[in-house]
């Protein structure tokens, strides 16, 4: 089992890494952080974001004042020094291709302790720049946690550092935006399928807004035109045709 830092040192490490990433994103990516004030500074909550790149967790988590926790795929924990680092930065390993009850219990425990957790409901980074359909696991998690959900969106990350590629050194523009918290009762007012559809729709709407915003600022150069320009394609059924 990995050994992490004492709580006080862990907090200092998180603060240092967050500050470093903020400077990096500001200098390298000329990042725009929009509506970070929508994220409550205390209390349990989930932040649900689209997933474009390895840049997403520090971008989404680093844009807010509070220390966040992160759900990360278990493959990232194979290299022990990196596993120690991301574990010390509040990451929770999740076996993404199978049920991982232990990881879910740990997420629920941290939410129960009043922490905020960042999740990426697509389940994996996009392979083409487009946003893909959310997995139902996010709704199962929210139903168990009964906590507010903050939709968030990132844009520019796929072009800056695509999966399997190398980081682009110049001309990078990044953006992250946070929606207003959706209370549990409001999100599930029309059932689980509607909750999933709403969360997916709000994230994608913000993502496309960021995409247009970056395009306007770069005279159409960034992000590059491609699959990311289309809205997410969904197969979420209506409540009338499928049970929650």
Tokens 């219990």, residue located: 105
Specify whether the CB–CB gap between 120 and 91 falls below 8 A.
Answer: no
pLDDT tens sequence across 155-201: 999 999 999 999 999 999 999 999 999 999 999 999 999 999 999 99
Q: What is the pLDDT along the chain (244 residues), one digit of tens a residue?
A: 455 678 889 999 999 999 999 999 999 999 999 999 999 999 999 999 999 999 999 999 999 999 999 999 999 999 999 999 999 999 999 987 666 899 999 999 999 999 999 999 999 999 999 999 999 999 999 999 999 999 999 999 999 999 999 999 999 999 999 999 999 999 999 999 999 999 999 999 999 999 999 999 999 999 999 999 999 988 766 554 444 3
Rounded to whole angstroms, what are the CA distances from 147 to 117, 138, 159, 198, 232?
11, 12, 33, 16, 25
pLDDT tens sequence across 125-142: 999 999 999 999 999 999
């Amino acid at each position: 089992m990995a050994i992490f830092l004492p709580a006080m040192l862990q907090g200092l490490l998180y603060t240092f890494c967050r500050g470093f990433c903020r400077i990096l994103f500001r200098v390298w990516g000329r990042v725009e952080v929009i509506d970070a004030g929508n994220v409550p500074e205390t209390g349990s909550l989930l932040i649900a974001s689209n997933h474009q790149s390895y840049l997403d967790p520090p971008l989404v988590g680093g844009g807010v004042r509070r220390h966040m926790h992160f759900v990360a795929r278990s493959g990232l924990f194979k290299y022990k020094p990196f596993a120690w680092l991301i574990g010390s930065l509040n990451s929770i390993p999740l076996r993404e291709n199978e049920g991982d009850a232990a990881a879910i219990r740990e997420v629920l425990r941290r939410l129960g302790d009043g922490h905020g957790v960042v999740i990426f409901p697509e389940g994996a980074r996009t392979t083409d720049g487009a946003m893909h359909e959310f997995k139902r696991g996010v709704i199962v998690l929210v139903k168990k946690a009964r906590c507010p959900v903050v939709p968030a969106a990132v844009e520019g990350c796929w072009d800056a550092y695509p999966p399997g590629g190398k980081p682009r050194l110049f001309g990078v523009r990044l953006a992250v935006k946070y929606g207003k918290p959706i209370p549990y009762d409001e999100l599930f007012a029309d059932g689980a399928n509607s909750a999933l559809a709403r969360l997916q729709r709000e994230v994608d709407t913000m993502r496309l807004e960021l995409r247009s915003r970056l395009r306007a600022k770069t005279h159409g150069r960034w992000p590059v035109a491609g699959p990311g320009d289309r809205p997410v394609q969904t197969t979420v059924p209506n409540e009338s045709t499928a049970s929650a």
